[in-house]
Amino acid sequence: EASVKTSQRKTLSKLTCSPGQARIVAYKVAVLGAAGGIGQPLSLLLKMSPLLSNLNLYDIANVKGVVADLGHCNTPAQVSGFTGPAELADSLKGVDLIIIPAGVPRKPGMTRDDLFNINAGIVKDLVEVAADTAPNALINVISNPVNSTVPIAAEILKQKGVYNPRKLFGVTTLDVVRANTFVAKQKNLRLIDVDVPVIGGHAGITILPLLSKARPAIEFSTQEIEELTVRIQNAGTEVVEAKAGAGSATLSMAYAGARFAESCIRALDGDPDVYECSYVQSELTELPFFASRLKLGKEGIEAFVHGDLNNLTEYEQKALEALKPELKASIQKGIEFVNRES
Ligand code: NAD
Ligand code: LMR
């Protein structure tokens, strides 16, 4: 467990490099949807990473300005822009990691599943080209509904004959970031010391923080558990409502997305101590996709942290059973979308 905390410390410190600190590490990353609300700040945070040699920014519009702007930062990564489907394949050539925040965000009153009709097709089209051009790259899917878009990506990769379940990730880091923030505040702990695994999926009740597995070990009252769990589950909606029609979380998501990307790259680079929660193909439960804590390595997922699902509290066990039908339906919807279209 000490290693988990170490992992978090490393990530946070490496995200704030100064220009003179460049390490000789040269990973290539593509951001698809780079001109958007998440894409822009995520690209800025990635541009600050000393681990990148190239940052390829793709969107259907408005990329040139983002590239000109970011390119003036005196950090090592070379920033290149790609606009529209004709340039998509070029943006993916030789990349180690593909991050996908392309798609529409929620407005008040919508569920993440309400985004399915638009975002399913966007993710499908992007992953088709990724499969042809960068079949060995890690893929981080941010576009909602993550519970369905990750199964969509998996089906496309399978159809193309290049699916490697160890390399496809739904980004649920924001749930962990929120859980850590809310718990540290509630319990007056140092933020850097708190790590709460969040399992299940990334929508409503499918988001299940395991407060009993929080580090350091923390005592919670029943009321605190219920209130914290509901706050973490509804935190996305909290932001959607506060933005009142202007979109959903972008800055905290960019932070979380950059943390997860940095973890993926450190793992590719051979760091033996990288742990993150993510929504992936899984055998931890009867569901084919499930978010849980993972050890990342040079080939993607190296191991599942099985212990997190042992000795759940009665509250967590009930919540786990309650989330399964919704998560199962979202997975099925994604799989059927691809198979219906083909
Ligand atoms: P946004 O509308 O600000 O940006 C989306 C970008 O995607 C735009 O620049 C748009 O041009 C681009 N885009 C649209 N179609 C595209 C295509 N076919 N190819 C490439 N780019 C395309 O939205 P946002 O706030 O950045 O949110 C993006 C997505 O991320 C949404 O689906 C949102 O729900 C999701 N999200 C996920 C999490 C998470 O925790 N996984 C958190 C926040 C938001
Ligand atoms: C979030 O958790 O903030 C994202 O999934 C965006 C949303 O729609 O809530």
Across the strands, what pairs with 27? 52
Side chain identity, residue 272: P
DSSP result, 271-330? -S-EEEEEEEE--SSSSSEEEEEEEEETTEEEEE-GGGGTT--HHHHHHHHHHHHHHHHH
- The answer to whether the beta carbons of residues 274 and 295 sit under 8 Å apart is yes
239 lines ligand 2 (CB under 6 A): yes
Point out the catalytic residue in the list 47, 124, 167, 202.
Answer: 202
- Helix (H) or strand (E) segment spanning residue 274: strand 274-281
Residue 330 in 3-state DSSP?
Answer: helix
In short, whether 248's Cβ falls inside 6 Å of ligand 2 is yes
Atom of ligand 2 nearest to the CA of 237: 9
What is the per-residue DSSP string for 44-87?
A: HHHHT-TTEEEEEEEESS-HHHHHHHHTTS-SSPEEEEEESGGG
* Number of Cβ within a 10 Å radius of residue 53: 15
Atom of ligand 2 nearest to the CA of 178: 2
Q: Measure the CA–CA gap between 252 and 229, rounded to whole angstroms.
A: 19
12 vs 81, which has greater pLDDT? 81
CA of 331 relative to ligand 2 center, distance in Å? 18
Closest ligand to the CA of 32:
1
Q: ipTM for the complex?
A: 0.99
Q: Closest-lying ligand to the alpha carbon of 105?
A: 1
| CB 254 less than 6 A from any atom of ligand 2 | no
Q: Is 306 a catalytic residue?
A: no
Distance 22 CA to ligand 2 centre (A): 33
The residue nearest atom 2 of ligand 2, judged by CA position, is: 236
Say yes or no to pLDDT of 6 above 50. no
Say what percent of the chain tops pLDDT 70. 92
pLDDT at 189: 98
Residue whose Cα lies nearest atom 5 of ligand 1: it is 36
Q: How far is the CA of 146 from the centre of ligand 1 (A)?
A: 12
Q: Per residue in 210-242, pLDDT tens? A: 999 999 999 999 999 999 999 999 999 999 999
Q: Give mean pLDDT, residues 119-126.
A: 98
Percent of the chain with pLDDT over 90: 92
Least Cα distance to 182 among 217, 214, 144 occurs for 214
Once rounded to an integer, what is the mean pLDDT over residues 304-325?
97
Q: Which residues pair with 57 in a beta bridge?
A: 31, 81
The C-alpha atoms of residue 282 and residue 242 are separated, in whole angstroms, by: 34
pLDDT at 11 over 70: no
Q: What is the pLDDT of residue 1?
A: 41
| CA of residue 170 to ligand 2 center, whole Å | 13
Q: What count of residues does the chain have?
A: 342
Closest-lying ligand 1 atom to the alpha carbon of residue 173: 40
Give the residue whose CA is nearest to atom 6 of ligand 1: 36
Residue nearest to atom 3 of ligand 2 (CA): 236
Residue 199: strand, helix, or coil: strand
pLDDT band at 3 (very low <50, low <70, confident <90, very high): very low
Q: How confident is the model at residue 342 (pLDDT cuts 50, 70, 90)?
A: confident
Question: Is 249 a pocket residue for ligand 2 (Cβ < 6 Å)?
Answer: yes
Q: What is the number of the ligand closest to the CA of 236?
A: 2
Judged against a pLDDT cut of 60, whether residue 24 lies above it is answered with: no
pLDDT of residue 22: 47
The first and second tokens of residue 244, run together, are: 């009142």
Q: What is the mean pLDDT of the chain?
A: 94
What pLDDT is attached to residue 127?
99
The answer to whether 251 and 121 are in contact (CB under 8 A) is no
Instruction: Take residue 75 and report the two structure tokens written for it.
Output: 């950090």
CA angle, 151 then 28 then 133, to 5°: 55
- The rounded Å distance from CA 218 to ligand 1 centre is 36
Q: Annotate 99-112 with DSSP letters as a single string.
A: EE--SPPP-TT--G
- Alpha carbon of 325 to ligand 2 centroid (Å): 20
How high is the pLDDT of residue 186?
97
Q: Give the single-character DSSP code of 215.
A: B
* Ligand 1 environment, Cβ below 6 A: 32-33, 35-39, 59-61, 101-106, 115, 119, 122, 125-126, 142-144, 146, 171, 174, 202, 247-250, 253
Indicate the residue type of 112: R
Mean pLDDT of the region 156-178: 98
Q: What torsion do the CA atoms of 5, 9, 12, 16 make, to the nearest 10 degrees? A: -170
Query: 7: pLDDT confidence band, cut at 50, 70 and 90?
Result: very low
